[in-house]
């Protein structure tokens, strides 16, 4: 069996006892690496300042070698904070107004990908399978091919892929698409993302859809497909059941006793629709005064990328809006919105999901959104809650039992909250069962297996090119 080499911007290091880092993705990838033996390489999160980064820091745990590299201050500013998070992230989330183009940042993005390739290449053996993750590292395969590597290389995008009209606003859109053509398998979260990808190739005249998921572009044949990422469903369900007895969850249960709880859990990001969600909750309370003092909304929003001005401004906006609603509608013994601006451990979150009558997951745009899947998996089968889900989250393509909403429609989302709270137990069970059955089958292990299976078969694609051209 070929070794597996995983490359991502950041690497979830295992705990000191050797157990996998929290999160379904880390669990699945570490299991695949442990089975095959291999390497997980990425940025350490540390800076070497003005000095050139030292040698790779390597840690061996079982069959897995964790290989970490520092980056210079310039690299972090241009590659990570610059092009990745201030160009690619907003473009892929349909926010042209927030994309800040700069030639220096673009050059830094490609330079750091070249740096990653030069650090990775000496560790690669001829039959290794390489799996690259997310938007930070799109050019990596092209750099490795330039160095002569002929290995099977796959790429998975965890965030949305935009339509051609949006993508072409990026000055280096051609280089980005050329970079993707150097992979053997390109994976997206949903069929909509795949359609956007194929639409760009067709519209720009730089590729052909050969059918059966095969594409011909820039002189290479590769597979592109939708591989919706899952969670470790069965394990998370057991985890949530145990977490219900956690002291923090029990304290929360007592504090909301006699009231329904609604929960939202998001990283602080403009793509998550938190402002619109708070407006929808306020609209729900003012339109349904009978629910005042009978429902509490808990919004958990850890800070993220606080060094980027847009995020710092948003943090202030969310806090002010929550405070305004609480001041206008709250009473001495009832705070409508509980806003927590820090991380909460995964076991506490699992218990809070199970406690909540409604899971409010309303991003303006999201590749998948695993919070939606975790909320469903965490529910008590006898008394499950209701998932209110944005139609613009990738999860909406799978979770047919959710109440789908347009997060830009504040009144529509408010009405969905009211519908969820009034929903009969029988309907809640029917909707939950449908979603849970899907999640148990389509878990993160199946996602990993499906992608790696197609990547293992990838060497058969290039020889097939000749017969396709002849015919």
Cα 114–chain centre separation: 25
Axis-axis angle for helices 191-204, 173-181 (nearest 10): 110
**Do 229 and 372 touch, CB atoms closer than 8 A?**
no
pLDDT at 16: 66
Q: What is the pLDDT of residue 458?
A: 78
Res. 45: pLDDT tops 90: yes
The per-residue pLDDT for 18 is 54
Contact assessment for residue 79 and residue 109, using Cβ atoms and an 8 Å cutoff:
yes
Tokens found for residue 244: 């219900």
Where does the pLDDT of residue 465 fall: very low under 50, low under 70, confident under 90, or very high at 90 and above? Answer: very low
Token pair in block for residue 210: 């050969």
* pTM to 2 decimal places: 0.94
- Whether the per-residue pLDDT at 276 is higher than 90: the answer is yes
- pLDDT tens for 373-411 read 999 999 999 999 999 999 999 999 999 999 999 999 999
Looking at residues 97-109, what average pLDDT do you find? Answer: 94
Count CB atoms within 10 A of the CB of residue 38.
24
The angle at the Cα of 389, spanning 388 to 393, to the nearest 5 degrees, equals 170
Q: What is the pLDDT of residue 27?
A: 78
366 catalytic, yes or no? Answer: yes
Does 177 have pLDDT greater than 50? yes
Determine the pLDDT at residue 303: 76
| Cα of 388 vs its chain's centroid, Å | 18
| Residue 256 CB-density burial (10 A; 0-12 exposed, 13-18 middle, 19+ buried) | middle
Question: Over the stretch 402-458, which tens digit does the pLDDT of each residue have?
Answer: 999 999 999 999 999 999 999 999 999 999 999 999 999 999 999 999 999 999 997
Task: Give residue for tokens 């006892």.
Answer: 17
| Length of the chain as a residue count | 471
How many CB atoms neighbour CB 467 within 10 A?
Answer: 8
Sheet containing 4-10, strands listed edge to edge, beginning at the edge strand earlier in sequence:
57-61, 64-71, 38-47, 4-10, 129-133, 152-156, 185-188, 220-226, 214-217, 207-211
Tell me the C-alpha distance between 65 and 62, whole Å: 8
Residue 21: its pLDDT value, please? 54
CA–CA separation, 217 and 199 (whole Å):
13
Distance, CA of 91 to CA of 408 (rounded, Å): 19
Assess contact for 136 and 98: CB atoms under 8 A: no
Residues facing residue 57 across a β-bridge: 68
The pLDDT of residue 462: 58
Residue 459: band (very low, low, confident or very high) from pLDDT cuts 50, 70, 90: low
**Cα–Cα distance measured from residue 247 to residue 236, given in angstroms and rounded to the nearest whole number:** 19
How much is the average pLDDT of 244-271? 94
Q: Which long-range contacts (CB under 8 A, 24 or more apart) does 252-257 make?
A: 252/298, 252/352, 252/355, 253/355, 256/296, 256/355
Catalytic residue among 366, 438, 442, 454: 366
Residue 470 has pLDDT above 50, yes or no: no
Q: Which of 302, 307, 387, 376 is nearest to 339 (CA)?
A: 302
In the block, tokens 């499906």 appear at 450
Catalytic residue among 93, 133, 158, 442: 158
220-232: average pLDDT: 96
- Residue-wise pLDDT tens digits, 124-175: 999 999 999 999 999 999 999 999 999 999 999 999 999 999 999 999 999 9
Active site residue 158: yes
344 backbone dihedrals φ, ψ, rounded to 5°: -120, 140
Q: Which residue would you say has higher pLDDT here, 305 or 288?
A: 288
Q: Which pLDDT does position 469 carry in this prediction?
A: 44
Check residue 471 and give its pLDDT: 37
pLDDT higher than 70, residue 20: no
- pLDDT at residue 36, rounded to an integer: 92
Mean of the pLDDT values across residues 255-273?
Answer: 94
> β-strands 220-226, 214-217: how paired?
antiparallel
Between vectors from CA 383 to CA 380 and to CA 388, what angle results, nearest 5°?
A: 90
| Partners of residue 389 on adjacent β-strands | 361, 404
Confidence bin at 15 (pLDDT 50/70/90) = low
For all residues of the chain together, what is the average pLDDT?
93
- What is residue 259's DSSP assignment? S
């Amino acid at each position: 069996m070929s070794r597996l080499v995983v490359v991502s911007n950041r690497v979830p290091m295992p705990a000191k006892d050797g157990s996998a880092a929290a999160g379904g993705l880390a669990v699945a990838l570490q299991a695949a690496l442990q089975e095959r033996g291999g390497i997980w390489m990425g940025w350490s999160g540390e800076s070497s300042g003005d000095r050139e980064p030292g040698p790779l820091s390597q840690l061996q745990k079982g069959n897995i070698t964790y290989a970490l590299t520092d980056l210079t201050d310039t690299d972090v500013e241009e590659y990570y904070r610059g092009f990745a998070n201030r160009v690619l992230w907003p473009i892929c989330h349909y926010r042209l107004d927030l994309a800040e183009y700069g030639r220096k940042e673009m050059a830094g993005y490609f330079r750091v990908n070249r740096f990653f390739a030069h650090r990775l290449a000496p560790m690669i053996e001829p039959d290794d399978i390489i799996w690259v993750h997310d938007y930070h590292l799109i050019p990596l395969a092209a750099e490795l091919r330039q160095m002569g590597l002929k290995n099977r290389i796959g790429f998975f995008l965890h965030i949305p892929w935009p339509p051609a009209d949006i993508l072409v606003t990026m000055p280096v859109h051609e280089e980005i698409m050329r970079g993707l053509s150097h992979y053997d398998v390109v994976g997206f979260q949903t069929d909509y993302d795949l359609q956007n990808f194929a639409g760009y190739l067709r519209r720009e005249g730089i590729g052909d859809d050969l059918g059966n998921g095969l594409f011909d572009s820039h002189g290479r044949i590769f597979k592109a497909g939708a591989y919706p990422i899952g969670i470790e469903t069965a394990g998370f369900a057991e985890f949530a059941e145990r977490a219900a007895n956690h002291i923090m969850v029990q304290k929360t249960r007592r504090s909301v006793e006699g009231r329904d709880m609604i929960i939202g859990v998001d990283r602080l990001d403009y793509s998550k629709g938190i402002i619109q969600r708070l407006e929808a909750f306020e609209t729900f309370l003012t339109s349904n005064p009978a629910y005042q003092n009978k429902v509490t909304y808990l919004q958990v929003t850890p800070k993220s990328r606080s060094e980027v001005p847009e995020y710092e401004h948003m943090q202030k906006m969310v806090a002010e809006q929550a405070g305004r609603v609480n001041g206008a509608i709250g009473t001495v013994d009832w705070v409508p919105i509980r806003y927590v601006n820090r991380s909460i451990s995964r076991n506490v979150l699992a218990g809070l999901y199970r406690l909540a009558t409604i899971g409010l997951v309303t991003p303006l745009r999201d590749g998948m959104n695993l919070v939606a899947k975790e909320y469903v998996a965490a529910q008590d089968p006898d008394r499950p809650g209701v998932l209110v889900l944005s139609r613009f989250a990738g999860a909406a393509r799978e979770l047919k039992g959710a109440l789908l909403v347009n997060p830009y429609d504040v009144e529509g989302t408010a009405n969905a909250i009211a519908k969820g709270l009034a929903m009969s137990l029988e309907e809640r069970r029917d909707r939950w069962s449908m979603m849970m059955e899907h999640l148990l089958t389509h878990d993160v292990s199946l996602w990993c297996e499906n992608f790696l299976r197609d990547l293992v078969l990838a060497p058969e694609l290039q020889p097939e090119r000749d017969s396709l051209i002849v015919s």
